Structure 1
Amino acid sequence: MARPAILRGWFLIRRDLPHGRRVLLTVVSFLLPLALWCVVSYVPWIWHPDVKIELSAEREGVTTVFTAGDHVSREFFPEFVEAVRQENAAVLAAREAGTPGSGAKRKNQKLLRQLAPLAVEQGWLDYTDGQNDAVLYHVWRDLATGARTSADPKLTPENLDIVRRNWAVMSALSPDFSYKQLPDEPLLKIVPQGMPANPVYLPAPHEVFRAAKRDFTAEVPTGELTMGQRYRQSLHIIIAGFLWACVVGIPLGILCGVFDFFSKLLEPFVDFFRYMPAPTFSTLLVAVLLAGDAPKVALVFIGTVFQMILVVSKTTRLLDPALLEAAQTLGAKPRQMITKVVIPGILPNLYNDLRILLGWAWTWLVIAELIGVKSGLTEFIETQGRFRNFERVFPVIILIGVTGFVTDQILSWLHGLLFPWAGKSGNFSRAVASFVSWPFRMVAAGARERIAASEMSTPEVRRNEAS
């Protein structure tokens, strides 16, 4: 059966795709999960088991308080809305009966703040100043008079009518906020509004983007770290731990791969130790290295170095034996064989091993930053996760993933630059290799010219030319 024309050239056995198609597939590999995330988040009839509250209200006689941003089940939300409507109906009935009640100043002050989430979303109020009653008082006025309109969230006609009713009562006493001038009779409560939503642990993409923009640009209180400072702190732990692992693991791995003596002496213990979970040593590390960054770096080191020794020793053993035999035939000593044959021979594969092991080291970051005094990006993740602010957790997780991916791609590009003889390389790496080898090629060309000149000067060549 003939393959459709659109699929030709895409499924090639043991052959690389053209560069353009490879780039396209790389982009699609990221767009597909993002598209699925958007479908699940924005298409109303797909999943959405919760309702995210946009405007909330407190109920009488109920200890559970829901605020804007909280998630409730779709089954519970209509009950919540109906309970608030019944309370408002009781307030209106009392007014009509001429017994509106009294002593509600404090409750009315809290009721003013029902519109704080809406004011923050519209940019009328700073999110750090959600209890500015003077500003909120004017927000009620502007919404009631039509001077301002809310787009997202948009007030329902029912809530707009409640805003106008409440403002008629408040404005009759004072045009500006004054606690003493607040109505003594109960005001109507804003009826809760919500929108279909995924569970709290899967926020929508726009919520994640908005939280990331706010967290990475906002000024922090004195004494707290900015997100940039947290990021640099996490990078320091990963880089320091990985470099120490390289300092110890690479030499030991090469020795184990070259000499059976070191292999039998070290590898059994290393193989045994790598099955011990590194976090089990966290308490001991804090006791020995105290509660700064040192135990965190040590945990990354312990989680990486034993794997590194085994991987490097395996790579060393895969070196072509013919290279070692040729060096021995030429009389190379053990030290020369290691420095002149083994290390240059395994460098391309060793470089790839270190790329993989660096990714392994990143997996220890979250655990490492939780031991001792919590620090870095993990402290932020743990704190926001505890309060279920997952829209603020996702940007940090994505940042860690992007950092690892970009680092790996840069290292992959450098592999072709540093080791152009080890595989396919681009035009740039070939140009660099050509530039680096230019002095050697010039020397070789000069040698060939001298040899040719000496051959032309022999009597036999001159006789042949004369004949």
Structure 2
Amino acid sequence: MSSTKPVGRANSRWFAIGKPLPSRQRSILTLCSFLIPLAVWSAVSYLPFVWHPDIKLTISAEREGISTIYTRGDHLSKSFFPTFVAAVKAENAAVLAARAAGEPIAPGRRSNLKTLRHIAAWGIGNGYLTAEEAKNDDAIFQLWARAAKGDFGKQLPLSPDNIKVVKENWILIKDIELPLSSRDLPNEALLKLIPQGKSSNPVYLPAPHEVLLSGYQDFFTEQRDPDDPSMWQRALHSMKIVFGGFLLAAIVGVPIAILCGTFDFFSRIFEPFIDFFRYLPAPAFSTLLVAVFLAHDAPKIALVFVGTFFQLVLVVANTTREIDRSLIEASQTLGADRRNILLRVIVPGILPQLYNDLRILLGWAWTWLVIAELIGVKSGLTEFIETQGRWRNFDRVFPVIILIGFIGFFTDQILSWLRVFLFKWTGESPNAFSRVVASSVAAGPRWFQREVLDQRLDPLADRRNKK
């Protein structure tokens, strides 16, 4: 007797129509919803055959008569990179031809010192120089000596053309004694390093490890400039803008919405204008808001309010209309007046769904953050995004964007977890992901109390005991 399971039974567990998945499958799919985009991003970043339209420079050079200067880390298109390389090779060929003809090109000793310094960025990128050593011409000269002698073993990521350039230049500068001075350099032109690079994503899509390293440095490196807020201070400021605007919208909007959903009188007098106003783009009022509230945080909070309030009223009013009419009819039969029906039947009856509506609308409020923080005096996380984006430091932009998403997502998950305890009569249970997020967040205050507050309170206790 065969014990094989029906073929469709396994699929029915995953694709059952109108039925929730078991908790294990839900947890797996929740994890996959994050891992799949990360896997795609990693594949695009680390597999050259997938999509690498640019060349990221590891060695650069300046060209005569061209004002555009490329440095290590810059991105060039694969179609332009060969042109750049050919131009530098042509300049080197001209230098060698003039030298062979007995009429060497003499650009000046300062120009030769600049040519020698081009190897510094390559040395930093490969760990042969520190950032401080790269500012020292003697350390740069010693790096040329190591490269000329092949003093890197197999760890010499120089192309054959650049090895020749290094050796040709070393013939002219090997007798120089340290400390190095531009006066000690030959007047004859030195050869330029040939540009090198590796296939990469465009500059606007950095690799995951670059984003991770930049984010760690920005968030955990001590700020040297006291006037420049840390990333955590920026994050707290941005949260103040979002939650401040949303809280005002909820305080004003929820009562109006409940009245609109309960009484047709309020619906007719408020909703037509609100329905019209919600189609007006909130950023169009930014100049007016700055004029009214001046240029600091007030107009930013006001913009979040304007962007959230009108949607909130319509959503909550519709939720109020969907309350079970039999509850209202039963209360009327028992002699309840309008005030009691509103406060003891309608408001308690819509609370679970109202809570969900506000969770969703809080996410809507986060979408206005970037626009809000750009009006008036730029501030918060958006100021950092705008500044780094202008300088094309997208590896520093991505961590901030991801942080905004995490703050909003974790806030929503915590609110989802709290809903189960606030509205126990609904019979819902928190999902596994919400429990994990809530536990992680709850561990923070416990750690703070144990590690920080205890350290501060212990000396106070000792003083009281001594007294």
TM-score by length of 1: 0.85
For residues 131-183 of structure 1, give each alpha carbon's deviation from its aligned partner in whole angstroms, at most 9, with x where no partner exists: 443443333334334455795x9222332342344344334122333233233
1:44 counterpart (48, 53, 56): 48
1:308 is aligned to: 312
Deviation at 1:126, TM superposition (A): 5.4
2:437 is aligned to: none
1:442 is aligned to: none
1:206 is aligned to: 209
For residues 201-258 of structure 1, give each alpha carbon's deviation from its aligned partner in whole angstroms, at most 9, with x where no partner exists: 2222222222222322333434222222211111111111111111111111111111
Are residues 427 and 301 of structure 1, via their aligned partners in 2, closer, same or farther at CA, if it must alter by over 3 Å?
closer
1:99 matches 2:118 = no
Secondary structure class of the residue paired with 2:104? coil
In the TM superposition, what are the counterparts of 1:125-136 in structure 2 within 5 Å? Answer: 125=129, 131-136=135-140
Identity of aligned residues (%): 56
2: CA distance between counterparts of 1:223 and 1:75?
Answer: 44
Amino acid at match of 2:187: D
Are residues 268 and 81 of structure 1, via their aligned partners in 2, closer, same or farther at CA, if it must alter by over 3 Å?
same
In the TM superposition, what are the counterparts of 1:325-344 in structure 2 within 5 Å? Answer: 325-344=329-348
2: CA distance between counterparts of 1:191 and 1:340?
Answer: 80
CA RMSD between the two structures: 2.4
1:81 is aligned to: 85
Are residues 132 and 404 of structure 1, via their aligned partners in 2, closer, same or farther at CA, if it must alter by over 3 Å?
farther
2:191 counterpart (188, 191, 194): 188
Are residues 335 and 224 of structure 1, via their aligned partners in 2, closer, same or farther at CA, if it must alter by over 3 Å?
same
2: CA distance between counterparts of 1:126 and 1:332?
Answer: 79
Q: Which deviates the most, 198-207 or 125-134?
A: 125-134
1:393 is aligned to: 397
Secondary structure class of the residue paired with 1:54? strand
2: CA distance between counterparts of 1:254 and 1:337?
Answer: 12
2: CA distance between counterparts of 1:162 and 1:423?
Answer: 76
Do 1:138 and 1:176's aligned partners in 2 also have CA atoms closer than 8 Å?
no
Deviation at 1:327, TM superposition (A): 1.9
Amino acid at match of 2:298: A
For residues 399-440 of structure 1, give each alpha carbon's deviation from its aligned partner in whole angstroms, at most 9, with x where no partner exists: 1111111111111111112212224215999xxxxxxxxxxx
Amino acid at match of 1:312: V
Q: Which runs of 5+ in 2 are unaligned?
A: 1-5, 435-467
1:178 counterpart (160, 170, 181): 181
1:275 matches 2:279 = yes
Q: Which deviates the most, 219-228 or 22-31?
A: 219-228
Deviation at 1:27, TM superposition (A): 0.9
1:350 matches 2:358 = no
2: CA distance between counterparts of 1:427 and 1:156?
Answer: 56
Deviation at 1:22, TM superposition (A): 0.7
The structure with more radius of gyration: 1
Secondary structure class of the residue paired with 1:369? helix
2: CA distance between counterparts of 1:30 and 1:363?
Answer: 20
2: CA distance between counterparts of 1:427 and 1:165?
Answer: 68
Q: Which deviates the most, 351-360 or 204-213?
A: 204-213
2: CA distance between counterparts of 1:115 and 1:180?
Answer: 20
2: CA distance between counterparts of 1:150 and 1:279?
Answer: 58
Q: Which deviates the most, 394-403 or 352-361?
A: 394-403
Q: Which deviates the most, 353-362 or 372-381?
A: 372-381
